[in-house]
Amino acid sequence: MPMPRFLCDRMFVRLGRYLRAAGYDTLIAADGAEDRALLAQARREHRLLVTGDRELALHARAPGHVLVLSSTGVASAAAELSRQVPIDWLAHSFTRCLLCNARLRRAPAGALERVPRESRQLAGELWECPACGRLYWEGSHVRRMRGCLRRWQEASLEVASSPS
């Protein structure tokens, strides 16, 4: 089964970035994007539109393309999304750019020079976004995000294994 692809509306920007951190192809709606345009994009690109807009879910073209979440915090929204769609928060983690969604690639030799001096010792393996040029390494920010992904994965496994 292919990995689901997402389009998050502006209510779920942080969730969208965590989905990217988990390796999911996730677009984030532009400010002011109209509901019909978002729905059309989700249908055209075979994405699940993640929204808090219950009225959008009532649109005739919404079934199968719109996931309505009632949660507002990122952790509770992640849990609610995991109940609606099978999400593996760890299987492909940190393979996409958190800012522009492109797949990361190993950084070329010499990229370490672009890492802040105080982080170079800790950088380890470097990854680069081919679209925006941002560098990624296993720093404190990645470790914090990975901790969230782990907790969400454990919670979703507990829910999946509990008797109904």
* Residue 82 φ/ψ, nearest 5 degrees: -60, -30
The structural domains of the chain, with segments of one domain joined by +, span: 1-164
Q: What is the helix (H) or strand (E) element at residue 77, kind and residue range?
A: helix 74-84
Give the relative orientation of helices 74-84 and 140-161 as an angle to the nearest 10 degrees: 40
| pTM of the complete model | 0.88
Mind listing the pLDDT tens digit of every residue in the chain (164 residues)? 689 999 999 999 999 999 999 999 999 999 888 888 999 999 999 999 999 887 776 665 556 788 999 998 999 999 999 999 999 999 999 999 999 999 999 988 887 788 767 777 666 788 999 999 998 888 788 889 999 999 999 988 775 555 55
CB contact set of 103 (below 8 Å; sequence gap of 6+): 95, 96, 97, 130
Q: Tens of pLDDT along 99-139? A: 999 999 998 888 778 876 777 766 678 899 999 999 888 87
| Tokens of residue 157, six digits | 């496994």
Query: What backbone phi and psi angles, to 5 degrees, belong to 13?
Result: -60, -50
φ and ψ of 105, to 5 deg:
-135, 160
How many angstroms separate the CA atoms of 20 and 93, rounded? Answer: 8
Structure tokens given for 52: 């808090």
CA 9, 11, 13, 16 dihedral sign is negative
